Amino acid sequence: MTNSEQLPLSGIKVIEFTHMVMGPTAGVILADLGAEVIKIEPLGGDNTRRLKGSGSGYFSMYNRNKKSVFINIKSAEGKDVAKSLIQEADILLENFRPGAMDKLGLGYEQLKTLNPRLIYCSLKGFLSGPYAHRTALDEVTQMMGGLAYMTGLPNKPMRAGSSVIDITGGMFGVIGILAALEERHRTQQGKNVTCSLYETTAFMVGQHMAQQVVTGEAPPPMSVRRSAWAIYDIFHCANNEQVFIGVVSDSQWRIFCDAFGLEEFAQDQSLALNNGRVAQRERILPVINEVFATLSKEQLMAKLEKSGLPFAPINKPSDLFDDPHLNAGGLVDVTLPDGTKTKLPGLPLEMNNERMPLRHDIPKDQGNSVATLQDAGFSEEDIQKLLSLGIIDA
């Protein structure tokens, strides 16, 4: 989609008061889909820009295709600038602590009079209930929601290796926003949408809650799970490299046996059905491991690909930069705030076989407040006044 006017959310205006991951994720999804997103940052820029360690990639990953303005929204003049932008907006995003936007005079009840069509999305730790006042983080809700228990070893809970709850929480926020947009077509009225980390975590582990009800037993961590299939594991090859393989149907089992010359298993009717194979894993796996030990990783994967069976090399995130499939359109060329050029994953969607394009690079550390306000219709006189008062950074 080379023409931004062809993007699904073209013409939709979003004002984003967010930081870290959950809120910016919602913003980048809307931006990639064509919305005009203006990110409101404090003077000096969002603190997320300055995170180190595991947080050092947050800003660069979740803020492309956005404009940015650095405003002191605690000042009366800064609030006026923000409200001027909000008055023309379709959507507002915020993920600050409960009550923070209300204290600034920018809560939903305060803004719906200014803009009755505004869809106001709050991305929080918890929905309504006894925990609503608490401050949450991705890792907090992974721990209390059972995801860390299911990810780690027994007696050693471990968070997932990505900010999965922040990201999926932001996605649920977008789902709510798009539903509210559709409703607005009928009612001409905006809506207050709230999504949360804790309830997102509960939704993610709902399959394990259901598993307990169905089986009558509490599910163990995935690290020691009882697999539903006989072949569903990481296997070693001749060069001691690893490949994950999953054989999850009876037809795949027949294909698997044919591909690796396992005639004895193919003819054994006690292995023809999945539950029979699961019951005989201790008999099956030593034979399969012996076969795989004679093959290099490349040979093993070639056989699996030719057979159409599910498999995966065990990659690190750094391996994805050179992945041929992702380089066929799944990575977006971006410039980091410090000027470094790289490729990062784009929105995992195609529409009419086309990906969402990069329209605006990641906002630079010094911001682009003047250009953003010019595009929003502020006069040169007003902008210069805001600069002289220290209300905005250039």
**Structure confidence at residue 267 (pLDDT):** 96
In a domain, 322, yes or no: no
Residues of the chain with pLDDT > 90: what percent?
95
Q: Are residues 313 and 334 both part of a single domain?
A: no
Q: Are residues 275 and 357 both part of a single domain?
A: no
- Mean residue pLDDT of the chain comes to 96
pLDDT in tens, 286-311: 999 999 999 999 999 999 999 999 99
In a domain, 164, yes or no: yes
**Structure confidence at residue 4 (pLDDT):** 65
Q: Are residues 121 and 233 both part of a single domain?
A: no
Contact indicator for 200, 128 with CB cutoff of 8 Å = no
Residues of the chain with pLDDT > 70: what percent?
99
Range of the domain at 66: 4-204+329-388
Q: Are residues 200 and 265 both part of a single domain?
A: no
Model confidence at 2, in pLDDT bands (50, 70, 90)? low
**Structure confidence at residue 173 (pLDDT):** 98
Among 284, 317, 350, the domain boundary falls at 317
CATH value at residue 260? 3.30.1540.10
Q: Are residues 293 and 165 both part of a single domain?
A: no
In a domain, 145, yes or no: yes
In a domain, 221, yes or no: no
pLDDT tops 80 at residue 5: no
The two structure tokens encoding residue 109: 């009840």
pLDDT tops 90 at residue 387: yes
Model confidence at 394, in pLDDT bands (50, 70, 90)? confident
**Structure confidence at residue 227 (pLDDT):** 84
pLDDT tops 70 at residue 52: yes
In a domain, 222, yes or no: no
Q: Are residues 280 and 169 both part of a single domain?
A: no
Residues 250, 273: Cα–Cα separation, whole Å: 6
Q: Are residues 100 and 72 both part of a single domain?
A: yes
How many structural domains are present in the chain? Answer: 2
In a domain, 289, yes or no: yes
Contacts within 8 Å (CB) and 24+ apart, 3-8 = 4/34, 4/357, 4/359, 7/33, 7/34, 7/356, 7/357, 8/33, 8/34, 8/351
pLDDT in tens, 121-180: 999 999 999 999 999 999 999 999 999 999 999 999 999 999 999 999 999 999 999 999
Model confidence at 1, in pLDDT bands (50, 70, 90)? low
Among 260, 289, 317, the domain boundary falls at 317
CATH value at residue 104? 3.40.50.10540
In a domain, 60, yes or no: yes
In a domain, 324, yes or no: no
**Structure confidence at residue 272 (pLDDT):** 97
Q: Are residues 370 and 338 both part of a single domain?
A: yes
Q: Are residues 384 and 303 both part of a single domain?
A: no
Q: Are residues 196 and 237 both part of a single domain?
A: no
Among 317, 342, 365, the domain boundary falls at 317
Q: Are residues 118 and 198 both part of a single domain?
A: yes
**Structure confidence at residue 92 (pLDDT):** 98
pLDDT in tens, 170-227: 999 999 999 999 999 999 999 999 999 999 999 999 999 999 999 999 999 999 877 8
Angle of helix 164-187 relative to helix 22-32, nearest 10 degrees? 50
Q: Are residues 247 and 313 both part of a single domain?
A: yes
